[in-house]
Structure 1
Amino acid sequence: MVVHFLIRGRVQGVGFRWFVHREAAELGLRGWVRNTDAGEVEVVAAGDAAMIAELRVELRKGSRGSRVDAVIEHELTDAEGESLGAFEIEGAW
């Protein structure tokens, strides 16, 4: 299963990408997380449906200091996830 998430709220400058990276890596998911220019955080995650469901729950909770107002989700095709490697933070300093 491959899913694209867009998280809206206070999710930049509060360690949200690092939180997502830790959660996704612990679940054994492949993919990436990055900030958007619009102040949101974008996630693409691939793996077992049960693990994606666990990540979804954590994304809605958010990290300490964050505020999640909305999680917009789109399922992608399996082919779109074939090139994804170990979960990483894109654009990290």
Structure 2
Amino acid sequence: MQLCHQVAVTLSEVLADCGDPLLQGLQVVGVEPAPDASRLSVALACDDGRTLERIEDHLAKASGHIRGEVAQAITRKRTPVLIYHLAPAGALG
């Protein structure tokens, strides 16, 4: 669970500091092993007015950068694969 917390904090910072307004508006709701620490499920909430498909495209384009930032922040030999789940704000929880 410590790894999940580290990844959640790092993702929040990376998304807030990125230059993409669509990604800046995302909130990290939670990070959980899926099924173990080699893959992590990341729950993200976005404003209702945004198109989920557009956000998924932007996440896919930024995934290498995001994973690189996570790799620098954690103390693991291998960086986990991040699987994103998007929902309008208030729908995840």
Which of the five TM-score ranges fits, normalised by the shorter chain? 0.3 to 0.5
TM (norm. structure 2) is 0.44
Q: Which has the higher strand share?
A: 1
Q: Which has the higher helix share?
A: 2
- State the structure with bigger RCO (CA 8 A, min sep 6), 1 or 2: 1
Q: Which has the larger radius of gyration?
A: 2
TM (norm. structure 1) is 0.44
